[in-house]
Amino acid sequence: MNAPARPKIAVRHIGPPRLTKGLEGAARLDWDAHRALHPVPRPLTSEQLIALCEAGRLHGRGGAAFPFARKVGATAGSAVRRRKRTVVVVNGTEGEPGSAKDKVLLRRAPHLILDGAALAATALGSVEIIVAVTDEEAARSVERAMAERGLGARARTVRLPEHFVTGESGALVRGINGGRPVPPGRKGRASTRGVDGLPTLLSNAETYAQLAVLAGLGPRAYAKAGTAEEPGTVLLTVTGSARFPAVIETSAGAPLGHILDLCGARAGEGVLVGGYHGAWLSGEAAARTRLSRAGLAASGGVLGAGIVMPVGRNTCPLGECARVARYLAAESAGQCGPCRLGLPDVAGAFADLAAGRDAAAACDTVRRAARMVVGRGACAHPDGSARFALSALDVFAADVARHAAEGGCGRPVRGVLPADTGAELSLEVDWSRCDGHGLCADVLRGTVRMDEYDYPVIPPEPIPARLEADARRAVAMCPGLALRLVPRTGHEKGAQRGR
């Protein structure tokens, strides 16, 4: 039985569209439709490409915002030093649950992405263009575009599993090379040694689309949108409690409050910017914030992957954050101490805080555990997760105090922040058999916790797939035979997916 098709997300623009030109409807732009809207980029040398990107102040749009010219220069320099050919990789995995902008481009404007990738590949003399995706519809769209352009063996797609850390550069290279797509323990640069050991230019789908637009317009016309320091447009995904979720293209520096109004949302108690590795802004800060890297940084936020998630007043914000903290712990690669131990501790303490279980102590535990993981992981996942948790405690300080004083805020958790781990099994306990030995809490640290009476607190959420083996071990080790794993119901699956 086929899975139901995902609804098409609305695509809107403020001001003249660039990346979203022709996407007002739901149709995919084929080769002829694309060429009617976008000129053929003029071939460039690597030096000319670097100069273009420097003049256009082009930065990566996948989260890190690294200057694209420096990436091109590093890849070209490595190729010369090592006397190797290069590879161009488009990161279209978009592991953030709240993001859809890259999927929109891959599904509906694949030729714009390939224009940018082909421009870079020509400049670098690359042997291959690789588009890495997790989404089946995106893969079909890009493969069709490659066929329409007659790229043949010069380009291919690679399907990878959909996980939060799949898009990390080291994990992506590993996956393309046929390995498990998890961040390597030793940090390296794709520009030095990437796919098949070759110097690799790696950036996300929107970055290559922006490159194509920059090449078509030229730096001067490109700078007619945006700010002096950050020319061009930004592509945003607005979800959360927004009544009209959408992918929106707007000039860099646009007011965040205007974007929220357009999507039928209010800043409310808080707005998450930059995604689950981003930061929370208070409603007051969000209302005066400009959507640029500098504007968001001035308010304590980050642009990241262009994700905007307001949280309305009819849901418990701490409960929403607890769900996300649990998701982030489950989605780690689980191969370093901060991910195996620290993030589960953050998730467990946040769950206690949201439930009003010794909330003051739980808040202290969240802060301590989050600070302990920063700078110690095999990748940036612990750092980003810690930023999410710590900023939540600051922005929702009034809720923290209320949960500590009253055991909660009286509002339900509506699941407006997507946090589905894809898990299928839940833990259940037969309390007539449980003697509180605590072995389950030892085996499933951060997932199962002991209460003040030394009995286990079993999470209502399903066990993440990564922890299923540990969960089965906990079931097998239980002296009272009180634990069991059961399939989660359809209702539970719907609650996990959220709205």
Locus of tokens 């001067």: 220
For every residue of 420-432, DSSP letters joined together read: -----EEEEE-TT
Q: Provide the pairing of β-strand 254-255 with 290-291.
A: antiparallel
Query: What is the pTM assigned to this prediction?
Result: 0.89
Distance CA 446, CA 338 (A): 12
In whole angstroms, how far apart are CA 207 and each of 179, 310, 370, 483?
Answer: 25, 25, 31, 49
Strand partners, 203: 90
Strand partners, 202: 89
DSSP SS3 for 200: strand
- Taking 70 as the pLDDT cut, the residues of the chain under it are 1-8, 421-422, 446, 488-499
Residue 439's H or E segment, with its range, is helix 439-443
pLDDT at 160: 96
Strand partners, 204: 91
Q: Token pair of 95, please? A: 């592991």
Locus of tokens 């998890």: 182
pLDDT at 234: 96
Q: Provide the pairing of β-strand 449-450 with 233-238.
A: unpaired
pLDDT at 241: 93
Tell me if 276 sits within 8 A of 204, measured CB to CB.
no
pLDDT at 5: 40
The CA angle 380-423-239, to the nearest 5 degrees, is 60
Q: Which residues contact 173 (CB under 8 A, 6 or more apart)?
A: 89, 190, 194, 195, 200, 202
Which one, of 421, 342, 417, lies nearest residue 386 by Cα? 342
Distance CA 241, CA 312 (A): 6
Distance CA 499, CA 492 (A): 13
Distance CA 292, CA 253 (A): 5
Which one, of 195, 180, 57, 70, lies nearest residue 126 by Cα? 195
Tell me if 329 sits within 8 A of 346, measured CB to CB.
yes
Q: Which residues contact 411 (CB under 8 A, 6 or more apart)?
A: 314, 315, 316, 319
Rounded-to-10 torsion of CA 180, 185, 189, 193: -60
In whole angstroms, how far apart are CA 320 and each of 102, 355, 397, 467?
Answer: 25, 11, 15, 22
Q: Token pair of 286, please? A: 């969000």
Q: Token pair of 255, please? A: 């007011």
Rounded-to-10 torsion of CA 182, 386, 412, 434: 70
pLDDT at 421: 67
Distance CA 18, CA 218 (A): 13
